[in-house]
Chains A and B, each alone.
Chain A
Amino acid sequence: MTHMKARIIISLKDSVLDPQGQAIANALKHLKFHNIQSVRQGKIFEITFKEKDSKKAYQQLDNMCKRLLVNLVIEDYHIALLP
């Protein structure tokens, strides 16, 4: 198989205020989900690319994160190669 698919999950660091997450948490409370404690909003990227070697693929994805996809000042990321 030459095509590889990966999922990158980007989340805000704990120290960063997330007003969107707070607004969503409040909206959920209005829908009577009273046990909501907090919501943090993030992003998902699904990337398909040509690479056979999973180690190389991971390195390339890591590079993509650092060079464009993630703002390292405020965000953390997690890379998962999909079967």
Chain B
Amino acid sequence: MKTAIIQFPGLNRDRDMIAALEKITGHSPYRIWQSETTIPTVDMIVIPGGFSFGDYLRCGAIAARQPIMKTIRIKAEEGVPILGVCNGFQILLEAGILEGTLIHNSSLKFICREITLEVMNNQTLFSHKYRQGEILRFPIAHKQGSYFAESETLSRLKKNRQIVFRYANENPNGSIHKIAGITNKRGNVLGIMPHPENCIETAHGRTDGHTFFSSIVENFNKHNLPSL
């Protein structure tokens, strides 16, 4: 399975994401700089977390308007799996590839700790190895992670089962309906605030994120049987 990660100035979780993709797919991802306009044919594109363009104007706002994003939009429409984590989620929202926005945490504090997540939809390519309603522990690290959308958008997200992960128990950042991760309508683009790449091996303390990535790999293998 081939992957690509998109790099913007100011991202800082790209190395963690590269390490996770190498460990789980067995191949190094292509690294695509934001000023490029083409992405090789890959089985998943990842926008990692960090502080693209210093979070100037709004988180992800300037990154979302860079040349590579036109290509990402086309790939999203073609059905290529796309994952945006943390700032990557903010960038996908600012680009209009996902719906809604992320605003300041209700506490106004940067929160960096483990939280609990509930699997709301285990029928997506990113979540099918979890049980419906399974409770996971993932780390979060953000200051603008409070999901917000208009009520009609929310009811559409609910109806189409686009809310894939929500915070279980407490709501760390004030997200509406405790939303932590959503997909587009087609289900091939996921944005998620918590960091699956930071809980994939025992040295991380948790491995709940390993199942997340192995869902993606298994989905790929199922649709791409090796040729003899």
Interface residues of A (CB under 8 A from B): 15-17, 19-20, 23, 67-69, 71, 73-74
Contact = CB atoms under 8 A, between A and B. Distances in A.
Given A16-B148, A20-B108, A68-B57, A73 B174 contact: no
A19 B148 CA distance: 13
A73 B100 contact: yes
5 contacts: A17-B146, A17-B174, A19-B104, A68-B65, A71-B61
A82 B78 CA distance: 46
A23 B104 CA distance: 12
Nearest to B104: A19
Contacts of B155: none
A61 to B, nearest CB: 16
Contact of A74 (B57, B61, B65, B103): B103
Interface of B: 57-58, 61, 65, 94, 100-101, 103-108, 146, 148-150, 174
B103 A69 contact: no
Contacts of B61: 68, 71
A16 B65 CA distance: 24
Contact of B106 (A19, A67, A68, A69): A19
B57 A69 contact: yes
A74 B58 CA distance: 12
A78 B212 CA distance: 44
Nearest to A16: B148
B91 to A, nearest CB: 13
Contacts of A17: 103, 106, 146, 148, 174
Contacts of A15: 150
A20 B57 CA distance: 16
B108 A71 contact: no
A73 B106 contact: no
A16 B103 CA distance: 9
Given A17-B146, A71-B101, A73-B150, 4 more contacts: A19-B106, A19-B174, A20-B104, A73-B149
A64 to B, nearest CB: 12
A13 B60 CA distance: 20
A74 B104 CA distance: 12
Given A16-B148, A68-B57, A68-B65, A74 B106 contact: no
B57 A19 contact: no
Contact of B94 (A16, A19, A23, A71): A71
Nearest to A69: B57
